Amino acid sequence: MDGKEAIRTLLILALMLVLINYVETMVVPALPKIQDDFSTTATTVGWVTSAYLIVGAVASPLFGKLADVYGKKRMYVMAVAFYIVAVGLAGFSPSIGFLIGARAIQGLGYAVFPIAIAIITDIFPRERIAFAQGILSGTLAIGPALGLLIGSYIVQDLGWQYAFHTAFILSLIVFFISLKYLKETDIKSRESVDYVGAALLGGGVASVLVYMTQGPNSGWASAPQLALLLLGLSLVTAFVFVERRKAEPLIKLDLFRIRNVMVSNLAGLISGIGMFLIFIAITYYAQLPAPYGLGLSIIQTGLLMSPVALTMALVGPFVGRIVAKSGPKPVLMAGSLIGALGFYLMMVNRGSSLALVEDTVVASLGLIFIIVPLVNMVAVSVPEDARGIGIGMNTLIRTLGSSTGPVISTVIMDSYETVYFTLFNGNIIPIAVLPSSTAFNYIFMTGMIMMGLTFLVALWTKNYKVSALAGAGEAETVTASSAA
C-alpha cells in the first residue's frame, strides 16, 4: 500500500473513531432526560452506559482474534455494522429495556479501536507507526469533546433521540466510505478461533464488570454481588486453565511473558483508573453549587473540558514522533510525572474555571504521553499474526481500569460528604448532602498514586528504537529482546 492510501486509511479510521467516541460521550448529558422520559430509576438508567462498556470490553479481544484469522477489514466492517444498526434502533427506543439492549449491541463497535490500531500497524512503515497511533489515540479526546459540546445542545434543544439519529446518519456515511476505500491487509493467522475460551473470558469479565458497576447501589458484600464476583473469578480461572491446554487458544498466554506486553497491560490498567478519576471528579466538582464546586451547567462543563480535548488531540501525533525517536520508556515515565503534577494541581489550584482548565490540561498531557507508548508497545512487540488479539486484550485490560476509576470516585465522594445549607425566611436550613472538599482532595491524591505506580511499572520497560526495528525487519526482534 502506497503512502497516499495509507494516509487515506488512517483518516477514515480516525473519523469513525471520532464518531464512536462522540456518541458514547453524548449519551452522558442525556441520562437525566432519559430517566424522566421512561420514569425509571438512576440505577436502571446507569445501564445505558454500563451495557455498552461491558459488551465492548468482552468484544475487544474476541474481535481482535477474529480479525487476525479472517481479516482486519472484514471484522472492522462487521463491528461498525453492528454499531450503526444499534445506534439507529436506540433513537426509536420505546422502553428503557429496549434502549439498554440497543446500547449493548453498540458495544460490539468498541472493538473498532484495537482493530484500527492493528490495521495501521500493518500498513505503515515502522518509523511512521507511532505517529499514526498518536492520531488515532487523539480521537479518544476529540470524540468526547464533541459529545459533551454538541450532544448537550442536541439533547437540550431537540431531545436525546436526535442525538442518536444524527449519529446514525454520520456513521452510515463513514461506513460506506470504509467499504469503498479500505483494503484488506495480507497479514492473517491460520489458527482457528477458540470460542470456548472466548465464552469463559467474556462471561468472567462481564460478571466482574457488573459487580463493579452495581457495587455502589447494591452493596459490595451483598449475597448477589458476591455471587457475581465469585462467578467472574471462577470463569477467568477456568479460562486460564483451558487456554494452557489448547493447541490453538484464544490468547497465547506466553504473550504475557513478553516484558513490554506485560508493562503495557499493567500500566494501562493503572493509568485507566487515573484517567476516569479525572472525568468523574471534575464533572461533579464543576457542577456542584459554590462554594462546594464551580456551579456550572452541563453545557458550561462541556465547554470547560474542550481545551483539554483539543490539547490531547493536537499533542497525540507529536507524542507519536517522540516515541519513534526515543522509544516508549522515557515517554511513559515523563507522562507519569506530568500526570502526577496535574493531579497535584487539582488539589491546590481549583478555585475557578480557568484554574481547573489549567490543571486538567496538565493532567491530560500526562495521559496522552502514557496512552500512545502503551499502544505502540503492544503493536510492535507481539507477532504480526497475533496483533489484533494482543491489542484487543490491552483494550480489555485498560477498560477494566476505566471501570474501576468511577467506582473509586463514587466511594470516596459517598464517604466524605458535607451538608449544603441555604437561607430561607431568615433561617439557615439544610437542603442537600454533597461531596466535600476532602473527598475531591482524596480523589486527586489517589490519582497521584496511580501515576506514581505507572512510573514504577514504566521503569521495567524494555526500550527500543524504531530504526532498530526497521533494520531487523520483524516485530519478533522486540519480542525476543523483551521476553527476559
**DSSP assignment of 249-312:** -SS-GGGGGSHHHHHHHHHHHHHHHHHHHHHHHHHHHHHSPTTTS----HHHHHHHHHHHHHHH
Per DSSP, 423 falls in state E
CB 381 within 8 A of CB 475: yes
Report how far residue 321's alpha carbon sits from residue 190's, in angstroms, rounded to the nearest whole number: 34
Same domain, 203 and 317: no
Task: Evaluate whether residue 189 is within a structural domain.
Answer: no
Q: Residue 484: what pLDDT?
A: 37
Domain co-membership, 138 together with 218: no
Residue with cell 474476541: 62
**Predicted pLDDT of residue 402:** 77
Residue 270 within any structural domain of the chain: yes
- Cβ atoms of 406 and 276 closer than 8 Å: yes
Residue 374, CB half-sphere, CA atoms under 13 Å: how many? 34
Q: Kindly report the CATH number assigned to the domain that includes residue 7.
A: 1.20.1250.20
Contact (CB, 8 A) for 360 and 308: yes
Count of structural domains within the chain = 3
Q: Last residue of some domain: 162, 184, 206? A: 184
**81, 34 in Cβ contact below 8 A?**
no
pLDDT of residue 472: 47
Q: Which residue ranges of the chain lie beneath pLDDT 50?
A: 471-484
- Domain-embedded: residue 318: yes
Mark whether 53 and 199 lie in a shared domain.
no
* DSSP reduced 3-state for 430: strand
| Residue recorded with cell 488531540 | 313
245 lies in the same domain as 263 = no
Q: Which of 267, 334, 325 is nearest to 129 (CA)?
A: 325
94 and 228 share one domain: no
Last residue in a domain, options 249, 268, 296: 249
Is this prediction's pTM over 0.95? Answer: no
Is the same domain home to 358 and 428? Answer: yes
Q: Which residue has cell 484500527?
A: 116
Nine-digit cell at 387?
A: 496483533
Q: Is residue 429 part of a domain?
A: yes
Q: Are residues 310 and 324 in the same domain?
A: yes
Residues 262 and 301 in one domain: yes
Is the bond preceding 291 in cis, omega lying within 30 degrees of 0?
yes
Domain check: are 264 and 162 in the same one? no
Which one-letter amino acid corresponds to residue 447?
G
Q: Which of 131, 145, 135, 136 is nearest to 308 (CA)?
A: 145
* Closest among 10, 261, 266 to 139, alpha carbons compared: 10
Q: Where are the alpha helices (DSSP H) in 191-222?
A: 195-218
465 three-state secondary structure: coil
Find how far residue 373's CA is from the centre of its chain. 15
Helix (H, G, I), strand (E, B) or coil at 431: strand
Q: Which of 184, 215, 232 is the last residue of a domain?
A: 184
Is 385 a domain residue?
A: yes
Q: Does 424 map to a domain?
A: yes
Distance CA 109, CA 52 (A): 9
Same domain? For 134 and 207 the reply is no
- Amino acid making up residue 329: K
The set of residues, in sequence order, having a beta carbon less than 8 Å from that of 225 and lying 6+ positions away, is 211, 214, 215, 218, 219
Q: Are residues 162 and 209 in the same domain?
A: no
- Contact present, 379 and 129 (Cβ < 8 Å): yes
Of 81, 75, 84, residue with least CA distance to 170:
84
Residue % of the chain over a pLDDT of 90 = 23
Cα(160)–Cα(152) distance, integer angstroms: 9
Q: Is 61 within the bounds of a domain?
A: yes
Range of the domain at 91: 1-184
Q: Is residue 390 part of a domain?
A: yes
Strand partners, 435: 417
Whole-number Å distance between alpha carbons of 56 and 415:
30
pLDDT for the residue 347: 92
Question: Which three cell numbers mark 396?
Answer: 480489555
Say if residue 259 is in the same domain as residue 408. yes
Burial of 41 per CB tally in 10 Å (0-12, 13-18, 19+): exposed
Residue with cell 462481564: 206
